[in-house]
Structure 1
């Protein structure tokens, strides 16, 4: 609060003793409350001037109108209360990026990267109010929880809500079949060499609503040949993509591509991260069958895992073997092994089928003496099938003990996320236009290597049409038909979009609440997990989080992304 002192005077400079004083909020007739006198006591409003015309009061920092009435005189002046000592104390205790010496602009145009770098050198682990400003930076600052503002990276605005771990959002989802937990396990499992996630839906999956930053949507016809959104926009799908890259792929750089039939956009992102595994315990099973066998693990500092597993076979009758097996999803891995003289061969089995016998002997297949010798095995895509390396002693190896020296399995773990949202799609049109059996030459949104699908449809199923029956039961039938196609192909996670403000019966034959209810019932019946964005985004004033009462704005998309992410992490 700042203490103000004035003298009430007439035009000739004469004091106006005991004049009546009113303090209003600027531009209103609303009397300000909480006034104090010079000694800190409570002061009524209105209040009298002193006998010498002195007007004295303290008010909270802000803009006001002071009205002084004495007889026929009735005057008003604009005033501002600002406690400079409090401001200085605040700047010293909790500076913000706009304060000196950081001097960030926050105008959405000037590059504030250097200002935030300087700010975060001395300010860390705080909640920092950005005052509603938009700051252009090279990357989102990460050393504080920033609130009430946005960052613009690469020309695209990102709401700071995603970067505020101090304000948790309760996840809204239903565990029915464990698909979310399986997805999380897949993202973390290096032996699932490929985790391929497809997100199918309508415009809210596509990313419509980010006015000024979203990609072109036309020309389009409701098929996979439609244009797609850019990777940089703040759609919920893009925010989830970036989160997974940062938290499950060690911050690997995104590799962006687009669906081949689409003329524009960046619908597909792929992250790659190398994982080196020593094949002992964990997901690896070692078995020894026969006699004269031994296993020794020895240090090997020059190897990729720092150790070497030596599988020895001294049985001259060639009736013994060692086996290393592991479950695998994907198409390839690289075996690292040591070469020393006359080594044991190994036979590779994939899903019980032999793919050949391979040497580890010096002078064969280009192998030279030493460690870190490699062989990459590539095969047709398998999903959760067994891979086995089985030693095989040659008939010609008639003396001595032979050794298979395994140093590691290197997996180039890939996470691929495809946004297959199609503007205007319903469950009926999506199945007809974009899944197997469609009449177009644009492929299928879900393929044989896609092991997880997030499905958020139903918003457009509400629209009345003279061509089809009306009501929620028709949606139920169409959703069921869609799931009958998807479930044999992949692991499905159902989702429901946000509420809509326009539920006019002239336009829609049922409501978003009905959509949520039907999706929930089918999720329960089919034992599928469901992410409930309807509940997560149910607020009193939908205009705060949508652009048109239906399509989320950047804040709405951020809340949706947080619910998806929190559902995944809580599974």
Structure 2
């Protein structure tokens, strides 16, 4: 994330290592465009956008209620993931200020005033931070509330400040299969789940070790069933992206227990992804024209060159989604 320094940490249940990197940066946005919906109700209202040099976003929204029946409320709605953001609003005089309600997922957080108090002059910008229980992709509504206020009342908003956080957690475990990972790392029966409620995207890559399970079948049907069970567990927790693994030295002594080819594995992952309408990244095809021994360390794990090819493929795939 540009402008954000990485903070490295570890998963709570891991005795060693650094599995997690977090980037945090506060962004300022003006609430207009496709991600925002401005609603006006009643006959006595006014909603306008004006350019403003002293605004951090260069603009100001003015939502005005008029006294009497048929006025307001006016509102700004948007989808939000997180637990807090700040409203940048203009203070107003005692005869012009308006209140606003904040609703998160339909729940009223509170009603807030924009009246200038103390030495703060009308027209100056104030920042009010709103904190609430974590939500994922829920609707936030900022709406005017002029109840009990006479005359023309305006709410002026310069923008929103949102602390954007990007966290990458590597929860891969050497030797696990789709079946064992589901059993030991997701069920919660053997410690905390590898996935938290705040994980939005879950990228899963299985198949290499599944080839050597005792009950594995050459046609991949057992692996298909195990991967489907895993996806059933993952889908309610976030947006799932399935990946097929890269190449191994098939037919080598170290691969003697395997009963499926990596192409069969890729086919099974693709089938499960399509059946569940989740994204699929093919990490095997980029190695079609590459000598396998030159891109792996041992017989299965990618070396630096292999990781580079795979990383580029994943980045290209995600950017194209």
Output the TM-score relative to the length of structure 2.
0.91
Could you give the per-residue CA deviations for residues 374-419 of structure 1, whole angstroms, max 9, x where no partner exists?
Answer: 1111222222221111101131x23x31111111111122111111
Other-structure match for 1:559: 309
- Are 1:490 and 2:238 matched, yes or no? yes
1:337 and 1:562 map into 2 onto residues whose CA distance is: 43
Which of 412, 427, 434 is 2:163 aligned to? 412
Deviation at 1:542, TM superposition (A): 1.4
Quote the offset at 1:464 in angstroms.
4.2
Verify the 8 A CA contact 1:360 1:367 in the aligned structure 2. Answer: no
SS class of match (1:556): helix
C-alpha displacement of 1:302: 2.3
Q: For residues 494-515 of structure 1, give each alpha carbon's deviation from its aligned partner in whole angstroms, at most 9, with x where no partner exists.
A: 1111121143674222222221
Hey, what does 1:479 align to over in structure 2?
227
CA distance in 1, matches of 2:196, 2:58: 39
Distance 1:523 1:289, change over 3 A: same
Give how far 1:469 is off.
Answer: 5.7
User: Hey, what does 2:98 align to over in structure 1?
Assistant: 344
Q: Secondary structure at the match of 2:171?
A: strand
CA distance in 2, matches of 1:386, 1:506: 53
Contact 2:21 2:168 in 1 (8 A): yes
* Cα 1:367/1:490, change in 2 over 3 Å: farther
User: For the Cα contact (< 8 Å) 1:318–1:393, is it kept in 2?
Assistant: no
Whole-Å separation in 2 of the counterparts to 1:464 and 1:564: 27
Is the partner of 2:297 in helix, strand or coil? coil
Which secondary structure state, in structure 1, belongs to the residue aligned with residue 128 of structure 2? strand
In the TM superposition, what is the alpha-carbon distance from 1:282 to its structure 2 partner? Answer: 3.3
Partner SS state of residue 487, structure 1:
helix
| Counterpart for residue 211 of structure 2 | 462
Alpha-carbon shift at residue 252 of structure 1 (Å): 2.4
| Aligned residues of 1:275 and 1:410 also touching (Cα < 8 A) | yes
Deviation at 1:493, TM superposition (A): 1.0
The answer as to whether partners of 1:302 and 1:371 remain within 8 angstroms in 2 is: no
1:367, 1:373 within 8 Å by CA — same for their partners in 2? no
Match of 1:136?
A: none
The equivalent residue for 1:522 is 272
Which residue of structure 2 lines up, in the alignment, with residue 513 of structure 1? Answer: 263
Structure 2 distance, partners of 1:567, 1:270, is 22
Q: Is the 8 A contact 2:205 2:242 kept in 1?
A: yes
> 1:317-466 counterparts in 2 under 5 A?
317=69, 319-342=71-94, 343-363=97-117, 369-395=122-148, 397-398=149-150, 400-435=151-186, 437-441=187-191, 443-465=192-214
- Separation in structure 1 between the aligned mates of residue 55 and residue 152 of structure 2, nearest angstrom: 23
Look at both structures and tell me which one has the larger radius of gyration over its CA atoms: 1
Distance 2:30 2:290 in 1: 54
Task: Measure the CA separation in 1 of the matches of 2:3 and 2:108.
Answer: 37
Equivalent position SS for 1:265? coil
Where in structure 2 are there 5+ consecutive unaligned residues? none
Change (3 A) 1:284 1:328: same
| Structure 1: unaligned runs, 5 residues or longer | 1-248
Instruction: Report how many residues are paired.
Output: 316
Residues of 2 paired with 1:251 and 1:360: CA distance?
Answer: 32
Aligned equivalent of 2:35: 283
The aligned counterpart of 2:4 is 252
Check the 8 A contact 1:499/1:513 in 2, yes or no.
no
Q: Secondary structure at the match of 1:485?
A: helix
**Aligned counterparts of 1:394 and 1:317: Cα–Cα separation in 2:** 11
Give the C-alpha shift of residue 289 in structure 1: 1.3
3-state DSSP class of the match of 1:558? helix
1:301-316 to structure 2, matched below 5 A, reads: 301-316=53-68
**Deviation per residue, 1:210-267 (Å, 9 max, x gap):** xxxxxxxxxxxxxxxxxxxxxxxxxxxxxxxxxxxxxxx2252212111111122221
What is the alpha-carbon distance in structure 1 between the residues aligned to residue 290 and residue 48 of structure 2? 66
Equivalent residues in 2 for 1:204-219, closer than 5 Å: none
User: Matched residue of 1:421: which SS?
Assistant: coil
